[in-house]
Amino acid sequence: MERGQTHTAAPSYLAWSILNTLCCCLPLGIAAIVFSSKVQNANATGNSVAAADASKTAKILNILALVCGLICISIFIAVKVIEGQQY
């Protein structure tokens, strides 16, 4: 990079990845953490293309983990409500 040029760091979504791992969907959350770490490493070395690619993948994995978690939680709540009405 030439002197005076700056590049914006790609977002890593690490906090979101950790929350998804703990609260929503463990397998997708772990994958999101891996890609979030790749973003941080690529940002640190100045590889903006790799950082942007890994950031996009981390974001997609986090969205999928959130959706899967919300679906599973909704199904769990529905089953518990139905079980409670049977007695």
pLDDT in tens, 10-59: 999 999 999 999 999 999 999 999 999 999 999 999 999 999 999 999 99
Read off the pTM.
Answer: 0.85
**What pLDDT band is residue 87 in, cutting at 50, 70 and 90?**
low
What is the reported pLDDT for 51? Answer: 97
Buried b (16+ CB within 10 A) or exposed e, 50-87: bbbbbbebbbebbebbbebbeeeeeeeeeeeeeeeeee
Domain ranges within the chain, ordered by starting residue: 14-85
pLDDT band at 8 (very low <50, low <70, confident <90, very high): confident
